[in-house]
Amino acid sequence: IVVPEREFPRPIGEAFRHFLQATVHVYRSFGLPAEYKPINDVVIGGKKASGNGAGLVDGSAVLVGNVILDMNYEMMARVLKVPSEKFRDKLAKSMREWVTSLKRELGYVPERDEIQKRLIEGYEKIGMKLVPGEISEEELRIFEEEVRPRHTSEEWLYMPEARHPSLTGRAVKVMAGVKVVEAMHKATKLIRVTMEVAEGKIRDILISGDFFMFPEKACTELEGALIGSPLVREEVEKRVEAFYANTGVQTPGMTAKDFVDAVMKAAELLSE
């Protein structure tokens, strides 16, 4: 959807709420209990069924979104630029748990023409009349000469890393309130933290690296101690220090603070 900026609903949350009624209509017309979830998702049974975004471009407001027909979770994880294979595996698992599609809900993918028809109905319900059109020669020229070169350039693809060269890692949004994030922290030894965060709390976490922990199984206990923790330094410190005190674990050359720092470094990436 592209409209003059002055005509775009404000605040941005109102724009998403208004326009995504059409997407909700599509899913509900197939008998699925879809709901709008602020700020920019449509969910079915708590799982993301439509991802949407908006921005301002040269005086126009642009909103983009989708109706997810089917989802190849492994392929999606493979094509995303991620820092490690462990992160990739975790991302695929997280997407399977949090993202759904028409095929997953219905057992089949409806005909595209039928989906388009129902989407048009949804927009008409909110007072919009869609008129068929085609991409113009000028639009194709702009895409080939300006848009494609910019969005395939290294400057664009590596923009986050260029802004924050000191932060090594990656955060990927799975749905509203849920992200998978990985970061590496160099203390005496390297600590890699891969975690799924939901509503500001650690839902799952994997800690690895080239450090030594005796006994080795204690690392699994540390991960368990951190699950459910709010990503607040004081709370993470309390849990890690309690883990050290209760287990008598040995981490030669490493301290509880090193593991806290590693978790909080990953947390920094969530705000990117």
Instruction: List Cα–Cα distances, 30 to 116, 118, 119, in angstroms.
Output: 13, 9, 12
* Tokens linked to 200: 């500001």
Query: Model pTM greater than 0.75?
Result: no
Q: Is the predicted pLDDT of residue 80 greater than 50, yes or no?
A: yes
H or E element that contains 56? strand 53-57
Higher-scoring residue by pLDDT: 31, 172: 31
When computed from its CA atoms, the radius of gyration of the chain, rounded to whole angstroms, is 22
CA atoms within 13 A on the CB side of 15: 22
For 205-221, what is the mean pLDDT?
83
Q: What mean pLDDT value characterizes the chain?
A: 86
Read off the pLDDT of residues 146-192 as tens digits, 9 standing for 90 and up.
989 988 887 777 665 554 444 455 677 887 788 888 888 888 888 98
Closest among 143, 124, 144 to 19, alpha carbons compared: 124
Q: Is the predicted pLDDT of residue 7 greater than 50, yes or no?
A: yes
User: What pLDDT does 83 receive?
Assistant: 65
The C-alpha angle 73, 78, 82, rounded to 5 degrees, equals 115
User: What pLDDT does 164 receive?
Assistant: 45
Residue ranges and CATH numbers for the domains of the chain are 2-132 (3.30.930.10), 163-269 (3.30.390.50)
Q: Is the predicted pLDDT of residue 232 greater than 90, yes or no?
A: yes
